[in-house]
């Protein structure tokens, strides 16, 4: 997915995170929560699995 955007991984994650914050503030409800959840999942996947201890 990150190859589709010129902003790279960090810029894309920032963009969707900012959108999720705006939606949560201005249009709270199930769709805003779903977007926030999707962004959190994207951020988690972008970081990758935790290193073994």
What does the pLDDT profile of the chain (53 residues) look like in tens digits?
Answer: 556 668 888 888 999 999 999 999 999 999 999 999 999 999 999 887 665 55
In a domain? residue 26: yes
Residue 27 falls inside a structural domain: yes
User: Residue 21 belongs to what domain range?
Assistant: 2-46
Residue 37 lies in a domain: yes
What pLDDT, on the 0 to 100 scale, is given for residue 8?
82
How far apart (Å, rounded) are the C-alpha atoms in residues 49 and 18?
24
In angstroms, the CA 39 to CA 47 distance is 12
Q: Is residue 53 part of a domain?
A: no
- Residues near 14 by Cβ (< 8 Å), separated by ≥ 6? 7
Structural domain includes residue 51: no
Number of domains in the chain: 1
| Predicted pLDDT of residue 50 | 60
pLDDT confidence of residue 35: 97
């Amino acid at each position: 997915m990150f190859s589709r955007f010129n902003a790279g991984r960090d810029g894309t994650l920032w963009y969707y995170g900012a959108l999720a914050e705006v939606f949560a503030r201005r249009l709270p409800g199930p769709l805003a929560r779903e977007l926030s959840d999707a962004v959190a999942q994207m951020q988690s996947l972008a970081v990758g699995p935790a290193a073994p201890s």
